[in-house]
Amino acid sequence: MIDDEELNRNVPTLDLDRLEVVTALGRGAKGVVFLARDQVEDEILALKVISRDSIEKKSNKGVTNSPGNGGNEYRRVSFEQQVLKNFSHPLLPRLRGLLATDKVVGYAIDYCPGRDLNSLRRKQTEKMFSDDLIRFYAAELVLALEYLHNLGIVYRDLKPENIMVQENGHLMLVDFDLSTKLPPRSPKSSPVLNSVNKTPPDSVKKKRFSPFHMYCNSGISPDDASSQSSVDSQRTGSDSVEKSNSFVGTEEYVAPEIISGDGHDFAVDWWSLGIVLHEMLYGTTPFRGSNRKETFYRILRKSPELVGEPTPLRNLIRKLLEKDPKQRIELEGIKGHEFFKGVDWEYILQIQRPPYIPGQSENEILKGEGSEGIKRIDVELFVQGIFGDSKNKSIENVNKNVGLKQQNAFAVF
């Protein structure tokens, strides 16, 4: 049975009566994400809601109690919420509140009006980012992953759909359902700032060598992750690094060592970063096949085709997509790579005019996301109609009315 007291400890509680649920933004393998307004605080939130029945039924079939590694569905929900509660970083979500009724559980984070990185890429003239834009977003991703790794969190689901653009134009990583915990990496660099809106000191303002300065003031598949097995951790004798053996990730972004089942650690996130950079540069992932089997074969056996003349970016992508995790470039090598030459890592989060600012007011967001004719959504009925055992098909009409689309692992945050 779900312990609501454990879920809500030290976290604000949300009540459906105080939430104006405007529309369903999308769904994933385990729940639905809604756009909602907290009428008490007068704030817009992204609300992730999961059927209580589906959690408890799957939990009864659990085979392990390892946090963050699957098996026990409730433990996974609790793990994700605990992870969110511990974050204090401008590129990661704030846990704004927890929801628990007799029928559903869920949580809320800040809504990102800029949507995901793929949506932004498709707005570009050639559906691809320039090297300068890639440099800015890649640098922010490096800082976010560095922070997670220093906490001992392996993200394991880095992909454009999970990389959102905040109201201020900076990125935000979301969806930690597939994350796991390992002994943390020792912090080696880059302090964490409490606010991206903090005014940089005069000494920073005077610096003009940063590659970001030239443009930061101007405008510009099904998720197989839920199928997990062998969900335990191991400590190898060869490298004394604790690893996870769970089979998780999104098909085109998953690292070779996850497919081979040899155990994996933080290096899988750097592989996924390489896939994301490739997609930002070319508009496609490098190993996609006609089916899952072919995609996995390409990941294990094929080298990425980096079309074009040699550049620092292509060189970095190649080093990130090194199939041997022991040889793959990691944090220090990435931050010191030629592609980031001249980047002031302490200044990135203080940039007040990132390349793209969504620029929508709260009313515009609600008007744009809302569905005509629907004033309030029955969240419990909606979620149960999708994930419950009920044969009641009335939910199909709700789906049509709000334009709900199947999304990739809650990409809509």
**Looking at the annotation, which residues are catalytic?**
157
Return the residue matching tokens 């659990």.
Answer: 62
Nearest 5 degrees, angle CA 176-CA 71-CA 66?
70
Q: Rounded to an integer, what distance in angstroms lies between the CA atom of residue 215 and that of residue 135?
A: 11
- Cα dist from 412 to 55, 73, 149, whole Å: 21, 22, 24
Q: Which of 125, 171, 118 is nearest to 144 (CA)?
A: 171
- Rounded Cα distance between 381 and 351, Å, is 43
C-beta of residue 154 within 8 angstroms of C-beta of residue 66: no
- Considering only CA atoms, which of 2, 8, 179 is closest in space to residue 108? 8
Contact in structure between 167 and 20 (CB atoms under 8 Å): no
| Whole-angstrom distance, CA of residue 114 vs CA of residue 137 | 14
Closest CA to 25 of 92, 91, 95, 119: 119
- What is the maximum alpha-carbon separation in the chain? 65
Compute the distance between CA of residue 120 and CA of residue 219 in angstroms, rounded to an integer: 12
